[in-house]
A and B are shown apart, each in its own frame.
Chain A
Amino acid sequence: MVEVSALDQLDYYLASLDELGEILIDADQSASVSKGVLRLALGTIMASKGAIFLYNHDSDQLSVLASQGLKKQDPFSSPKKLLNQSGKYKNTHLALDKNQPWITGELKKCTLELGTKILVPLFHKDRLLGLLCVGKKFMGEDYTGAEIKILEIVANHLTKALYNYELIRNVDEKGKQLNLKLLELETLFDISVAISSVLDVDELGEEILWRSVGILNASKGMMLMPKENSPILEPNSSFNWENTDVLISKKLTVFKKIDDTKSGIILTPEDTNSLQKKLGEDHVVIAPIQAKDNILGYMILCSKETRHGVEAFTQTDLDLLSALCNQGAVALDNARLFKDITEAKQFNESILGSIATGVITLDPLGEIDSINQAGMKILKMNEDEIIGNHYMYLLEKDMEIISLIQMTEMENTTHSEINMPFLTASKEAVVNVSVAPRIDPSGNIHGLVIAIEDITDVSKVKNTFKRYVSKQVVDELLDDDAKLNLGGEEREVTILFSDIRGFTSMSEKMSPEDVVSTLNEYFSDMIDIVFKYNGTLDKIIGDELMIVYGAPISAKDDTQRAVSTAVEMQKQITRLNKERIKRKDMPISAGIGINRGIVVSGNIGSRDMMDYTVIGDTVNLGARLCSAAGPGEILVSPSVWKETQKHCSYKKLEPIKVKGKKKKVDIYRITQDD
């Protein structure tokens, strides 16, 4: 056997320590450094078996970092007295020649398997980091003091290396936890941003759910909202859920508890909640989505994932979920409010859109900020031409309306005007305008509202009708168009015909201008009288007038009014003649005939030329009576006499033969009115 000198031995140990330094510098992980250190330690002291165990304070377990000659590799529970007993051997070693009763369980099995002779607890100050176990020396020799010393030196360096790696690992772990916290904060921030950017309730609910599932490592999630007028909670959105058709009642105890406490709940497999059964999930966390004290819904997350399966949600998870839900509740409340306001606006717009009155709103600067469909139609402009313009620019042709707006601006009271021309739209347009201050719910004035009612058509009707009937009749017709039946119908009317006697021969002696001025003077006076008694001017044929009473509107005194008209016409002709004589114009005289009976009334004519008139025998007899009447005479038929005899004096004349009638017709001449 070759003798090894003490110097050689020292060289060998120094070389080992040098190699130890290389291992510690090069290795970048605790496992690789441990492997190197163990190999070096065993080689230096000439042992064949050994192991380095790492102690985990959290789990109180030992795990194999490196080993030679040990089959077991899984972590195992440490002996109960490990910390207490190993503490006695800080900075030294424990010889395992004798049985150590505190080394029990799996550690004992390992030491036996390794044939452990020396155990070095790896302590950094008072913290146990691990154990270094060394088996018997080659050929069963005892370890020398130098070998044990070198083992302790190696163990000391290993301890420092393990401590450094633990520090690094802790820093990494803390860094990872900080990143997760940062992610949580970012998620909360994103949701707060969503409050002001996402206004769709469903989209927002989905956004909050997705963020919650991801940040809490849940395997699936669901947002439940109460169904209106029902105890059922409906999924507003779900994530990673195959079947969301589960009927979930708000009356479940878990929701009642949340409603009462206004805080969320964690359910674990130990709980036997009916919600867990319905969902088929053991691990559930539920948080209320509440805005102030109003619970809008519930966020449910299930099965918190880890790398190796599922674990229970923690209070921290619930706190985070509650924070997300609180943020989300504000956002959802905003979104709901926006939706309600939008619907209310649409409702108002649909009302404004459906009314015939044009409604224009002005902002406090006098610029138009809205107009309804009727408004655009009245103005004959599209929205782009109107919105944003100042009213002074838009209505520059209508100074009267501008004045109305300015009065409202100054006095903050409503101002209205009817029958105003509206040149902005057209020369013919006629409108009723009302301008009122726009007042918000706080009572503050924010601009004006202009209501424009287009009465152009009504005005046209009035203008048209007033040529034929009195203003009173026009107004009556427009107030109640049920009275107006312009279609063909049989009705009883009184017809008055008047005709200037001898006008043809008279006009031959007059200039055309005098003829026209004479007729205009005469008709002007006569028609005033007709309208005074609400007669309808049916026709002017040459010097003849045809007046109807009882069409288009009937009245009980139609005949009496016709008679009164005739009497006043004759009186007015007498007055007119006095003036004409003074002017040295030829006097005129007229004969008048009045009949009452059934006629057919309605709009008669072609599509292009249509007049409201009456036709029939009654009309013809009225004309015959007019023809039979002498100058200044008023002849009436028996039907007229019958209705008016109490108020008028008549003289019955000889019956006359009338064209188209076999029998002669009785006639009466008015001698005096009442």
Chain B
Amino acid sequence: MSDFSLSVREEGDLVIIETSGYLNNVGGEKVSEACYEKMDGGKKYFLLNLENSKVVNSIGVSILIEIIEKLQDVDGKLGYYNCAPIVEKTFNIMGLTKYSTVYNSEAEGVAGMA
């Protein structure tokens, strides 16, 4: 596994970002850039598909926290789905799940973010 890539699509008001690769400094920055660009366009609900990001480090988590803080300023939300157990555990321990939600599937995420 190397390199980080992502794809962005919109489902109504919701922005779904599918990541692939290590969610670290590089990966986190790319996610935040994508989120901020969409936030500038008025979007405030974001769902991350982390199926192909099996590893996340604390730098990646801190970037996600920054995104959550910015979203809170505009009453927005961040959610995740298809998380590997270790990723979900990291989110729990680092306190991310107090301010954002882990969903089991895209459908559950779309419903939860509505």
Contacts and interface: CB of A to CB of B under 8 A. Distances in A.
Interface in B56-88: 56-59, 62-63, 86
B89 A186 contact: yes
Q: For this complex, into which size category does the number of interface residues on chain B fall?
A: 20 to 34
Contacts of A182: 93
A179 interface: yes
B2 A240 contact: yes
A307 B62 contact: yes
Given A240-B1, A240-B21, A214 B94 contact: no
Contacts of B1: 239-240
Say which size band chain A's interface belongs to.
Answer: 20 to 34
A239 B22 contact: yes
Nearest to B89: A186
Contact of B55 (A180, A183, A213, A307): A213
A219 B2 CA distance: 10
Interface in A164-217: 176, 179-180, 182-183, 186-187, 190, 210-211, 213-217
Contacts of A190: 86, 89
Contact of A305 (B2, B21, B25): B25
B84 to A, nearest CB: 9
Contacts of A305: 24-25, 57, 59
B95 A214 contact: no
A213 B93 contact: no
A629 to B, nearest CB: 99
A504 to B, nearest CB: 98
A217 to B, nearest CB: 5
Contacts of B30: none
A214 B62 contact: no
A182 B94 CA distance: 9
Nearest to B56: A214
A306 B57 CA distance: 10
B3 A213 contact: no
Contacts of A347: none
A242 interface: yes
Most interface-central of A182, A190, A305 (chain B CB within 10 A)? A305
A241 interface: yes
B90 interface: yes
Contacts of B86: 187, 190, 210-211, 214
B2 A241 contact: yes
22 contacts: A176-B94, A179-B94, A179-B95, A180-B58, A183-B58, A186-B93, A210-B86, A215-B57, A217-B24, A217-B57, A217-B58, A219-B26, A220-B2, A239-B1, A239-B22, A239-B55, A240-B24, A241-B2, A305-B24, A305-B57, A306-B25, A307-B62
Interface of A: 176, 179-180, 182-183, 186-187, 190, 210-211, 213-220, 239-242, 305-307
What 5 A-B pairs come out closest when comparing CB atoms? A217-B57, A305-B25, A214-B55, A242-B2, A240-B22
Given A217-B58, A218-B57, A240-B2, 19 more contacts: A179-B94, A183-B58, A183-B89, A210-B86, A213-B57, A214-B90, A215-B57, A217-B24, A217-B57, A219-B22, A219-B24, A219-B25, A220-B2, A239-B1, A239-B22, A239-B55, A242-B2, A305-B24, A307-B25
